[in-house]
Amino acid sequence: MQALTNRVKDVDRRPMTFGEKIYLPAVLKGMSITFSHMFRKKPTINFPEQTRQFSPVFRGLHVLNRDEEGRERCTACGLCAVACPAEAITMEAAERKVGEENLYREEKYAARYEINMLRCIFCGLCEEACPKDAIYLSETFTPSNYNRKGLIYDKEDLLIPNPLTEKADLAKAKGL
């Protein structure tokens, strides 16, 4: 029969020779292999102390962006929710009142904006769909949580710190 791969090995069914029967050569060979492994470099990373370098295109936890004046960019158009294949994004739109111009960039804004991190597959389609540069996927991952409720992120969890009023927090979030 034709072999499917070139890695086929025939099983040797001959009875064991004396050398094989006394097991010792094979045992010693095995022991030398395990011994040599004692000095190998360990691939494990001590996680909380060390973290693995992410690739530059890593797609992590979402952030909701603000413009340079600290106003929310999101206009609750719903394109991200439509684009989302996992249906993780929920939003409710509201109209900007007079006097709220310093909070919201456009006349319409998202009163409620939630991403269910348990559903999210971090595909980045919301980022691509957004016409207002309002949602981005950052370079960190979602921290674990004890209950499901804690993994539904609302606006407070997602919005970046205000570049005018919370400079220190922003710098910290950017890792500066």
Partner 1 sequence: MILLALDWAFILQKLILIAVVVSASLIIAMYSTYAERKVAAVMQDRRGPNRAGPFGILQPLADGMKLFFKEEIIPNSSNKFLFILGPCLAMLTAMMTSAVIPWGDKLEIFGTTVSLQIADINIGILFVFGVVSLGVYGIMIGGWASNNKFSLLAALRGASQVISYELAMGIALISLLMMTGSLSMKTIVEQQINDKYHLWNVVYQPLAFLIFFVCSMAECNRAPFDLPEAESELNMGFHQEYSSMKLGFYLFSEYINMFISSAVMATLFFGGYDMPFVNEAALSPNVAALVGIVALMGKIFFFIFVFMWIRWTLPRFRYDQLMNLGWKGLIPLALANMVATGAFILYFNK
Q: What are phi and psi of 78, to 5 degrees?
A: 85, 5
User: Is 25 a residue that touches partner 1 (CB under 8 A)?
Assistant: no
Please give the Cα distance from 109 to 130 (Å, whole number): 14
Tell me, what amino acid is at 35? F
The strand pairing partners of 62, in sequence order, are: 137
Residue 9 CB, nearest approach to partner 1 (Å): 19
Please give the Cα distance from 169 to 127 (Å, whole number): 23
Q: Which stretch binds partner 1 (CB under 8 A): 38-46, 52-60, 143-151, 156-164?
A: 38-46
Q: Is 113 helix (H, G, I), strand (E, B) or coil?
A: strand
Q: Which stretch binds partner 1 (CB under 8 A): 3-11, 34-42, 67-75, 79-87?
A: 34-42
Nearest to 69 by CA among 96, 43, 104: 104
User: Is 47 a residue that touches partner 1 (CB under 8 A)?
Assistant: no
Q: Which of 40, 53, 57, 165 binds partner 1 (CB under 8 A)?
A: 40
Residue 28 CB, nearest approach to partner 1 (Å): 10
Binding residues (CB under 8 A) for partner 1: these are: 21-23, 27, 30-31, 33-35, 37-38, 40, 42-44, 46
